[in-house]
A and B are shown apart, each in its own frame.
Chain A
Amino acid sequence: DQQVKQNSPSLSVQEGRISILNCDYTNSMFDYFLWYKKYPAEGPTFLISISSIKDKNEDGRFTVFLNKSAKHLSLHIVPSQPGDSAVYFCAASVRGNTPLVFGKGTRLSVIA
């Protein structure tokens, strides 16, 4: 039973346009959400996070939106750049001791 779901295995976007990556979760106890980016032959790199007390967090070109009632979050990348091409993982955790629970990832391809 997947608690964190990324239903789009892949996404292609033109350079300069907006990339929107989606993530759904089922466990209402999750209260902290993170996005990681992964290049081939490298470990996941932390990108941005959001606590459940917020509905938006912005860092440069990256913005994460959280809709708690829908149990849905999204990552917006504006403008998209070719270097953003990677696999993006959504992850969630519960305050305290629990580990990160990851989705299966979405492969983003930004086309020049």
Chain B
Amino acid sequence: ETGVTQSPTHLIKTRGQQVTLRCSSQSGHNTVSWYQQALGQGPQFIFQYYREEENGRGNFPPRFSGLQFPNYSSELNVNALELDDSALYLCASSQARERHTEAFFGQGTRLTVV
């Protein structure tokens, strides 16, 4: 059983550019959530996908968007990057949305916007 993997692990982008981060969910998991962890903070929920549809969104602007694919892998896209977007982006997968279950996290992508 493979765990959650994210790519790339590190990324440097210029303000105003666009970025795509990728996540492969754990085998058998159909729900993917994305979190942003700024320095010194806990992870903040961006959005969640369940069976390829957005299934909840946190307090992030529309320039943060995502996709989930039929194999349950996922992408996070951020347009018009701002300096404050610099953070660790975490992907988490879980088995179902209807019941309590722990989410399993990938190692994260460290995004630096300069």
A residues near B (Cβ < 8 Å) are: 4, 6, 32, 34, 36, 41-46, 49, 51, 89, 91, 93, 95-105
Contacts and interface: CB of A to CB of B under 8 A. Distances in A.
Contacts of A36: 105
Contact of A97 (B4, B44, B97, B105): B97
Given A96-B98, A100-B92, A101-B45, 18 more contacts: A6-B42, A43-B4, A43-B92, A45-B105, A46-B102, A46-B104, A93-B100, A95-B100, A96-B97, A97-B97, A99-B48, A99-B58, A100-B103, A102-B43, A103-B42, A104-B41, A104-B42, A105-B42
A44 B100 contact: no
A42 B3 CA distance: 13
B55 A97 contact: yes
Contacts of A32: 100
5 contacts: A6-B42, A32-B100, A43-B4, A43-B105, A43-B106
Given A97-B56, A104-B41, A105-B42, A43 B108 contact: yes
B41 A99 contact: no
B107 interface: yes
Nearest to B99: A95
A99 B45 contact: yes
A93 B43 CA distance: 13
Interface in B1-51: 4, 6, 33, 35, 40-45, 48
Q: Which of A4, A6, A41, A95 has the most CB of B within 10 A?
A: A41
